[in-house]
Amino acid sequence: MAHTWGSPERFADRREAGQLLARRLAAYANRDDVVVLGLPRGGVPVAFEVASALHAALDVFVVRKLGFPGHAEFAMGAIASGGVRVLNEEIDAAYMPSKEVIDRIAQAEGLELERREHAYRNGRPPARIEGRVAILVDDGLATGSTMRAAVLAVRRLKPSRIVVAVPVGSVEARDALAAVADEMVCLRTPDPFSAVGLWYVDFGQTTDEEVCELLATPTGVRAQAPQGG
């Protein structure tokens, strides 16, 4: 059965979004110095399509949103591997919880971050990032705090270049990420934006099982580069 593509305004699903995103990243195809890093969970199906089209290595980069107490869906910041914490600079300081509350939420999210890293890789070592082009992929950007945390964390691993690639995002998030990444690719910036899920026909939840399955599926090259090569 032929795949049904979405409308000009909305993507059919994450699969279509990843395929369209890969076209904009064609310059990175068939290179052994590229690694595609999907932000779980929803970014991994998009990243899988990108990595498959580019014949590039695929890995996961875990970032956890820090939600407001009582309003967990609203991000006041995010944490990422490597101990990076980013707070949403758009939020008035008067509305931010105390440092103690933020620390408590960050600690709890840190435990989940570690659990996911172990579960998703299933014993596989993290991809080598030093000296390589790291393409960070998510299914969309709302505030951009999660992706910003990822960029800052990946920068510590000394890649040669950081590319942020998303199908859709707010203008504000796109511009903010362009200031910290070496390259920003965002296919669509609808205004008003509202929420990432509004720009997909099918925005069903991605499961841990799906993430593990995609990460275990070959995309062209091994995520872990040979030692001494």
Domain ranges of the chain: 14-215
Instruction: Read off the pLDDT of residues 97-112 as tens digits, 9 standing for 90 and up.
Output: 999 999 999 999 999 9
**How far are the Cα atoms of 51, 56, 62, 94, 226 from residue 154, in angstroms, in the given order?**
18, 18, 11, 31, 20
Whole-number Å distance between alpha carbons of 139 and 32: 24
Q: Structurally, what CATH architecture does the domain formed by 14-215 represent?
A: 3-Layer(aba) Sandwich (3.40)
Whole-number Å distance between alpha carbons of 161 and 176: 17
- What tokens does 177 get? 């990420």
> What is the band of 8 on the pLDDT scale with cuts at 50, 70, 90?
low
Instruction: Read off the pLDDT of residues 179-228 as tens digits, 9 standing for 90 and up.
Output: 999 999 999 999 899 899 999 999 999 999 999 999 999 886 544 443 33
Instruction: State the pTM of this model.
Output: 0.83
Whole-number Å distance between alpha carbons of 33 and 132: 5
Provide DSSP, 90-105: TS-GGGSPPHHHHHHH
Whole-number Å distance between alpha carbons of 16 and 5: 7
Percentage of residues of the chain with pLDDT beyond 70: 92
